[in-house]
Structure 1
Amino acid sequence: MRENQVYAIVDIESTGGNIENDRMIQFACVLLENGEILESFDTYVNPLKSVPKRIQELTGISPKDVKEAPYFEDIAPVLYSMLEETIFVAHNVGFDFQFLNEEFKRVGFPKLTIPAIDTVELAQVIFPTSNSYALQEIVEWLNYDLDRPHNALFDAEATAFLLNRMDEKLQTLPLTTVEKLAELSSYCIAETHLFFEHALEIMKNAPKDLSEDLVIAEGIALKDPSKNSNYLNESRNTFYPETSSGKTDFFDDSYLKRTTQEEMMDTVYQYFSKPEKMDGLAIEASSGLGKSLGYLFPVSFIASSKSPILISTKTTILQRQMVEETLAYLDRFLPLPLKVASVKGKYHYLSLANFEYKMKHVDLEDIESLFCMRILVWLTETVTGDLDELGAGGNNSHDFWTDIRIGQTDIPIQSIEKWTDLDFYHRAQEALKHAAIIVTNHAFLVQDWKKKENSLFTNVKKILIDEAHFFPDVVQDAATETISYNSFISIFKRFGTIEKENSIIATLYALSKRKVIKEYQVQSIETNKVLFESEWEAFIDYWLDQLNIPIEKNSRVIKWQENSVEFSQLSLPLKKTVKELTRLVYEIAYVGNHIVQKCLEATEQLSSSELFNILMFNDFLEEITDNARAFKTVFDQSCHGDHSWVSYYSKNPSVTFRFNRTSLFMKDKLLHSLERYSHVLYTSSTLSYNQSIDFFKRQLELDKLDFVELISSYQYEKQTKVYLPDKQLAVKESTNDDYLVYLTDSIELLAKEVDDNVLILFRSIESLQKVYHNLQNRKSLADKLILAQNISGTKSKLIKQFKKNSNALLLGADTFWEGIDLPGESLKIVIVTRLPFDSPELPTVKMRHKELLTHNQNPFIQDTLPRAVLRMKQGFGRLIRSEKDKGILIILDSRYVDSSYASVFQQSLPSGVKIEQLPLEVISESINEFLKD
């Protein structure tokens, strides 16, 4: 911040967000100079209108507070004189500054014309990895305790803290980074650019040496890879502590001793320590046992760069958590740093070459300049270049994020080669050669198995598969080819047009005019592209028409639909269309590759912009060629045993339309890849069904698999309750509308008197959305936050909101049954609306059942029932995550107790858990008694 300049950090509370019609109810200002608070001003304001109840609840400001407060016209002279020589600062300055000026105008004062700075945009740039830029969350992330959010004075003080922290952070950045931030900052709202310009002035007057862990390349400062490589001496002189006391002594007071976790540690250590080839081992570890530390601790003593251990987990998020949390925790106690490599698909990594080009050609009046600013700061922090590290604040649907992700081509061009040693994906691959522990995700692992050459994990002989209950389905997904409407359209859109300056097509025409390439080649590309797009649209429309798919644009309920289709029995006209579409794509790729080759032979005639577009063009050609191969595979006429189907969203079927085909041959081939390992360990909280591991073995086609079950020491009989209503609607004998009303009434009755968060699990997204809209209209639930999957935001956003509240309802399906961690006060009540059986109409389910029938097996007994029971175990596992947790499971499906298979569901509960059938009213009363006891 500028020396001796007074910054006025302002926060306003109002009756609402309408600048013209709403009125101020509280004004607070903190005057800051040279990082120190000079004085604070705070007052309620009489708005001369009622304060809505939701505003009272949000701010804590009562009608009495404002009734006795001064009118705005009474305080306007004081505010105006206080602010007129300052720089105005607010968190979301676009609202506060405009609202205040509107109030000044209303009482006859001129508008303030002082500079205004927005701390939201500043935080997005200066703290690029924060997961939220809401004031309370960003300052808490910076370890500031905001006691009373939405109180103007407390918010203004928190914003002053944030401004100081951002100024401090900015001063630590390299001069070259701050210079570029100042250059790019003209896009920023109001005069926010001044913050960067003032910092630059200070830094130029007192330059500092570049930090030792940074390096500058092409004017961009980033972490020096030579300072962050983990290729250290391997000798350890440390032995695995086999006794319980030895393990306790190894850690500090943060270590929570769990007998079952230590049992897991010993089991994993003994298994991987044996030199001979072993049968597979499955370990079922109860929820809350501390599974990750349970296997990573022993692995850290066994793994070496000569004999690495590969660990695969379900998602890239879990992969990152493993590296940044559990492995980082372990690293604190080990005598030498762990040599860990985490690898994902190429798309996750920043391409420095592409980013450099983007930054040089960015429009300073476009949001891309703000994105570039975030990346510049992040590059001084990131070691991996994994774009998933970036928090909120970006528009991931913007083309910018795709442009900077596209990896390097293999073409040896000078503009690309200069980044080779610094390239993040290249560094991730190099780290694999030296790593003792390699962390990846199931999808990437299985895709690596599909490679005929250049596999990344060829030297790995030991593998641990975490969240293993997901793994069979991931294998099946990898054996499924999918081609969507957008597979081709999105790429061709990025070709641009001749009218769009600097687009690929415009570049090609410019090169043809200079005789670098032939004009007829460019015309061929464009003609075939137009023909393909027209044929492709007609092809999709044909399928929509044949399947009688309605377009439900105004429906509040969004459904994901799947229909089985036999692609191996196409009509003759369709076969011709498939052949023509394939020909057009291959023709574009053939001519395009000739153009690329010709351009690379004449690079001296190309500008940097043209060269970049040619390299992008080459990447796009590879992508559409891969899509053409997938398209041919999906419509292959010879594989009659495969399973094929179409899928789409009901709200916009044409744009979301997909063709899918699962190859049974590929599935078997992928499963056989497990045979290449000497040790394979599977672990999950739900592997056994009906006290047996046979179902899991069948899914992976395993003949031998040893099994260890680690039972939690939690006192489930004291910590949990399971309730069923004694009277329930007979679902098969009632209409769907009656069933939805029954669900709504039951949930309302159970939740309205409860002061705790409730997770409500569905199997049908359609039912979920209809019940959500019904609950929104129930007055007894008006004070509750009601969240719903696919309606209220992304999964991560929903979970974050749910955790922040203590009186919320969260309606979820599918992934909400498992893989979410809501410990302690976050979740105490789970309501299961219906037993989680898969719909027999889903093509993927039909495929599994068809396979079982060919072997004379009962699909319900061998597939549907085991999957539902395991999903129920996962749902129950959301409740108890520690010895102090208490939780209630309520099941609104009578089949749990009165069906022929009820005992199988009930046996899946931990021993000691009792099931009670009571009237709904009694259950509602019992909930609070049990939780508060």
Structure 2
Amino acid sequence: MNFAVLDFETTGDQSSDQIIEVGLVIVKNGEITEVFSSLVNPEMEIPSFITRLTGITDEMVAAAPSIEQIAEKIAPYLQDTIIVAHNAQFDIKFLQKMLSAAGFLPFSGRVLDTVKFLQLLFPTLSSVKLSVVSSIWGIAHEAPHRAESDALATADIWLRCLERMNSFPLLLLQRLSNLFEDYADDFFWFIQEMRQKKENQTGLDLENSRYFRQFVINVNDWGEEKSQSEQKVIINETFTSTLESMKNSFQQVFPGYVDRASQNEMINEVWSALQEHHHLLVEAGTGTGKSLGYLIPALFYSVTENQKIVISTHTINLQEQLRERDIPLLQQVFPYPFQASILKGRNHYLCLRKFEHKINNNDYDNSAEHRLTAGQMLVWLSETKHGEDEELHFRHRGKEFWQSVASDTDSCLNRACPWFKKCFYHRIKYQANQSDIVITNHSLLFTDIQADNRLLPSYQQLIVDEAHHFEDVASKHLGIEVHYSAIVNTLIWLMKDSKNGHLPMLRHRLHQFDENERAMEWMQQIDALYPKIIMIKETWDEFCQQLYDVLPENIHDDSEKAQQVQRIKSEALPTEWDQLLVLEDNFYIQCTELIKIMEKLASQISAELDDFSLLSTLTDLSGSIKELHSFRDRVRSFMKQSEQTNVYWLEGNATYRSKSLLMVSSPIDVSPMLRQYFFETKNSVILTSATLSVKKSFQYVMEQLGLDRMEPEKVKAIQLESPFNYRDQALVCIPKDFPSVKNASSNQQFVHSLVNSIKEVATATHGRMMVLFTSNKMLKQVYPLLKNELIPASIQVLGQGVDSSNRSKLVTLFQQHPASV
């Protein structure tokens, strides 16, 4: 196949706009064979923002060839070739316009878009922007937004896409081909071509790929891998001598390594707390090196005492930092072998049974987008070792698809599942049991308590990083939260429409057993459930609407809708409460009836019919039944205010009204529970953060955590100063010429001043900047304006909640492309 990689620079993207530069790269037999580029006279003035973006001026194109002359030159290249472009729809539109203007027939050949192929073939790629991909892969792209440079970069990217597809085993190409066979477009055609090429060349590649149940998967059965922790490590050295040895190793690994007094103090204090079995609070300023400050003594204690240590963080960001940076570093310098595992919440891992069910049954709610996500995951499955959602970079509604195939407790078949020994979640649980250090998060720590300690391995030493969030997470997990959408989503899982949902899928499965006398009866019972689900949804909507009306009116007159909050006090209930209790009782009764019918139905079917696909559908149905049961009970607990030691409140938003409703119940004081589950039962709990004290005192945090009631010798608190010399190493600037924000008019002036100010500084620093907003609305106002202003400087603008809501993925994007704001 021959490819013509095409790129146009234009005066804009409207039908009246014209081409100002063309770049064309010919690829034959996997090599770039020819490059053509030329400026084009658009016979119109080039807008100033296009000149800033491309550097192309009116003077540069004044003597350039006309569009007709360029068409005559490139038309021969387009014969018997496949056009490749980045965001191809844009370039093809202008190509057809150019050919028409020159009197040529429209291009009727195949067109391939590198954006779509990048999404499919490289599912872990953090961005598919041309400049970002070029930067990540080290592709020369010296003049972004110039046609020749963009076309050459796109050609290099396309060659990597071809190389990637050629490396795929036949089974993976067959899976991808089957996935997109309902779409008779050029994207599917090319995948089909690659499949046929591979079928003609080879069979299954048993040497380089692993196959299970007709999937390509990159893991063996868990339990087969040998653990470093299985062999007892005999250590004769003291902690002090080991630490000195590690410092020498640090100096060899990092020539500029400097010993930090505050980090040394933290290392020794953590070691003492672990050895002497007391609790420790460490406030360590920025730059102390907290992670190594607790990891080094924790590792030595774990390995020498054969005691597992759990480390808990608040954010996935920090978990990833520990896994990607700190643990690999310590594996270089720590003198003894050790094993560390990252254990996240179960919904972060792929359920292989659910995924197989989706793929084999073509079960896609939002067909085009969900199929692309499924294709990404087929490719990812052939390379992932962890099966975590954090590795994938979802586009559009990909996260929605993930939620339908994420692992969960309620629908797990455990050892009855054919995927059990490949299961990513059970694999990481097994690895955690074998590890010296287990790194988890605060949420899972408290979920483990609620699950009677069945999720985490047994431990007596706990290190809590980002400890200033510990109490808040405890309050959230030891209380109740029910959002309007939680119950709606559960009902949708049960039945979205007559074809989608667990119940319609179960009905479809039963139809295959029409020779069974009871199958028709069960299908009729399922049909009778649909009106009941609709009725529950209507009751829930009415209940939430009336409950939302309890919230106070939003008194803010600007368009930034403040969150509405209303405390619900048992001694002063709203006047509408009796009516709300009646509605809640109706909801409870309706849910109970539905749950009983579905449980009985599922029990009868599973007892009589033995079929894996049917069992899989019943398992998913069972998970949704348990969810509905749980939400029903939480709503009742909130309305009855069954926990006297809790505080109850409602939250809502004036924009989304009842659809934003959140019912919250939280313990007034979590300190008794923290003492019960941690401080009175664990040998050592070490809490660290950059912000634990108030006015140099730990009294407040100790009261909030319940440590003030512990024996004084059982608790120690220290403050460590930051090694940074802020007076010499930091500059704080406070502009005094910004307009104030009082109304819509002044708000626009403020945004305008802010965009200009950020632009000036970002241009001077070439990105490498973080901008923090207290207003989400203002963030979204500034984002598009700043993005356009910084395009000419090739500075990327990343917006939280715009480019991604996932903080760790935004950080990855920022790290991979330093010229970012």
TM-score range, shorter chain: 0.7 to 0.9
**Structure 1: which amino acid aligns with 2:727?**
E
Question: How far is 1:493 from its partner?
Answer: 1.9
Q: Select between 595-604 and 791-800 the one with higher mean Cα deviation.
A: 791-800
- Count of aligned residue pairs for this structure pair: 795
2:693 aligns with 688
Structure 2 residue 514 is the aligned partner of structure 1 residue 504: no
Hey, what's the Cα distance between the residues in 1 that align with 2:488 and 2:285?
Answer: 46
1:557 aligns with 560
Hey, what's the Cα distance between the residues in 2 that align with 1:230 and 1:37?
Answer: 46
1:612 aligns with 616
What's the secondary structure of 1:303's corresponding residue?
A: helix
Hey, what's the Cα distance between the residues in 1 that align with 2:378 and 2:737?
Answer: 62
Give the TM-score normalised by structure 1: 0.76
Whether the aligned pair in 1 keeps the contact of 2:268 and 2:297 (CA below 8 Å) is yes
Structure 2 residue 546 is the aligned partner of structure 1 residue 542: yes
1:915 aligns with none
1:853 aligns with none
Hey, what's the Cα distance between the residues in 1 that align with 2:582 and 2:92?
Answer: 63
1:446 aligns with 446
Q: Name which of 594, 601, 604 aligns with 1:598.
A: 604
Matches within 5 A, 1:269-668: 271-272=270-271, 278-304=277-303, 306-334=306-334, 338-362=338-362, 366-393=368-395, 395-398=397-400, 400-407=401-408, 417-451=417-451, 453-496=452-495, 499-500=498-499, 504-505=503-504, 507-508=506-507, 511=510, 514-516=517-519, 518=522, 521-522=525-526, 525-547=529-551, 549=553, 556-566=559-569, 569=573, 571-604=577-610, 610-664=614-668, 668=672
Question: How far is 1:15 from its partner?
Answer: 1.3
**Structure 2: which amino acid aligns with 1:557?**
E
Change (3 A) 1:190 1:337: farther
2:210 aligns with 215
Whether the aligned pair in 2 keeps the contact of 1:498 and 1:506 (CA below 8 Å) is no
1:165 aligns with 160
What's the secondary structure of 1:225's corresponding residue?
A: coil
Question: How far is 1:683 from its partner?
Answer: 1.6
What's the secondary structure of 1:366's corresponding residue?
A: helix
Hey, what's the Cα distance between the residues in 1 that align with 2:60 and 2:735?
Answer: 46
Whether the aligned pair in 2 keeps the contact of 1:23 and 1:47 (CA below 8 Å) is yes
Q: Name which of 7, 16, 19 aligns with 1:21.
A: 16
Which runs of 5 or more structure 1 residues have no equivalent in the other structure? 805-820, 828-933
1:707 aligns with 717
What's the secondary structure of 1:168's corresponding residue?
A: helix
Question: How far is 1:172 from its partner?
Answer: 2.8
Hey, what's the Cα distance between the residues in 1 that align with 2:301 and 2:580?
Answer: 57
Hey, what's the Cα distance between the residues in 2 that align with 1:775 and 1:8?
Answer: 34
Write out per-residue CA displacement over residues 349-368 of structure 1, whole angstroms, 9 at most, x where no aligned residue.
11111111111122797333
Divergent runs of 4+, >6 A: 725-729, 734-739, 741-746, 773-791, 801-804, 821-827
Whether the aligned pair in 2 keeps the contact of 1:242 and 1:266 (CA below 8 Å) is no
Change (3 A) 1:518 1:388: same
Whether the aligned pair in 1 keeps the contact of 2:24 and 2:148 (CA below 8 Å) is yes
Question: How far is 1:688 from its partner?
Answer: 2.4
**Structure 1: which amino acid aligns with 2:704?**
Q
Q: Select between 103-112 and 519-528 the one with higher mean Cα deviation.
A: 519-528
2:730 aligns with 720
Whether the aligned pair in 1 keeps the contact of 2:274 and 2:684 (CA below 8 Å) is no
Whether the aligned pair in 1 keeps the contact of 2:27 and 2:155 (CA below 8 Å) is yes
**Structure 1: which amino acid aligns with 2:582?**
K
Hey, what's the Cα distance between the residues in 1 that align with 2:244 and 2:509?
Answer: 73
Change (3 A) 1:249 1:235: same
Structure 2 residue 5 is the aligned partner of structure 1 residue 6: no
What's the secondary structure of 2:112's corresponding residue?
A: strand
What's the secondary structure of 2:480's corresponding residue?
A: strand
Whether the aligned pair in 1 keeps the contact of 2:738 and 2:753 (CA below 8 Å) is no
**Structure 1: which amino acid aligns with 2:443?**
A
Hey, what's the Cα distance between the residues in 2 that align with 1:578 and 1:418?
Answer: 41
Give the TM-score normalised by structure 2: 0.86
1:84 aligns with 79
Whether the aligned pair in 2 keeps the contact of 1:133 and 1:392 (CA below 8 Å) is no
Hey, what's the Cα distance between the residues in 2 that align with 1:751 and 1:403?
Answer: 41
Question: How far is 1:226 from its partner?
Answer: 4.7
1:234 aligns with 231
Hey, what's the Cα distance between the residues in 1 that align with 2:696 and 2:247?
Answer: 31
Hey, what's the Cα distance between the residues in 2 that align with 1:274 and 1:780?
Answer: 51
What's the secondary structure of 1:40's corresponding residue?
A: strand
Question: How far is 1:600 from its partner?
Answer: 0.7
Change (3 A) 1:362 1:90: same
Structure 2 residue 683 is the aligned partner of structure 1 residue 678: yes
Change (3 A) 1:325 1:189: farther
Question: How far is 1:761 from its partner?
Answer: 4.6
Structure 2 residue 45 is the aligned partner of structure 1 residue 50: yes
What's the secondary structure of 1:721's corresponding residue?
A: coil
Whether the aligned pair in 2 keeps the contact of 1:225 and 1:383 (CA below 8 Å) is no
Question: How far is 1:419 from its partner?
Answer: 0.7
Change (3 A) 1:657 1:563: same
Question: How far is 1:243 from its partner?
Answer: 5.5
Write out per-residue CA displacement over residues 128-159 of structure 1, whole angstroms, 9 at most, x where no aligned residue.
10110111112322232422222211111112
**Structure 2: which amino acid aligns with 1:541?**
Q
Whether the aligned pair in 1 keeps the contact of 2:551 and 2:565 (CA below 8 Å) is no
Matches within 5 A, 1:27-106: 27-106=22-101
**Structure 2: which amino acid aligns with 1:613?**
T
Change (3 A) 1:363 1:39: farther
**Structure 2: which amino acid aligns with 1:489?**
V
What value does the CA root-mean-square deviation take over the aligned residues? 4.0
Change (3 A) 1:823 1:72: closer
Write out per-residue CA displacement over residues 211-241 of structure 1, whole angstroms, 9 at most, x where no aligned residue.
7674211111112235883512434466555
Change (3 A) 1:651 1:719: same
Question: How far is 1:70 from its partner?
Answer: 0.7
Whether the aligned pair in 2 keeps the contact of 1:88 and 1:117 (CA below 8 Å) is yes
Whether the aligned pair in 2 keeps the contact of 1:497 and 1:506 (CA below 8 Å) is no
What's the secondary structure of 2:347's corresponding residue?
A: helix
Whether the aligned pair in 2 keeps the contact of 1:555 and 1:651 (CA below 8 Å) is no
Whether the aligned pair in 2 keeps the contact of 1:567 and 1:634 (CA below 8 Å) is no
Change (3 A) 1:268 1:633: farther
Question: How far is 1:618 from its partner?
Answer: 0.9
Matches within 5 A, 1:132-211: 132-186=127-181, 190-207=185-202, 210=205
Question: How far is 1:385 from its partner?
Answer: 0.8
Matches within 5 A, 1:818-857: none
Hey, what's the Cα distance between the residues in 2 that align with 1:393 and 1:543?
Answer: 35
Whether the aligned pair in 1 keeps the contact of 2:669 and 2:704 (CA below 8 Å) is no
1:121 aligns with 116
Question: How far is 1:712 from its partner?
Answer: 2.8
Change (3 A) 1:771 1:701: farther
Question: How far is 1:653 from its partner?
Answer: 1.4
Change (3 A) 1:61 1:198: same
Hey, what's the Cα distance between the residues in 1 that align with 2:272 and 2:248?
Answer: 22
Write out per-residue CA displacement over residues 573-624 of structure 1, whole angstroms, 9 at most, x where no aligned residue.
32222222222212221221111111111223x6x65443322211100111
**Structure 1: which amino acid aligns with 2:404?**
D
Change (3 A) 1:55 1:178: same
Which runs of 5 or more structure 2 residues have no equivalent in the other structure? none
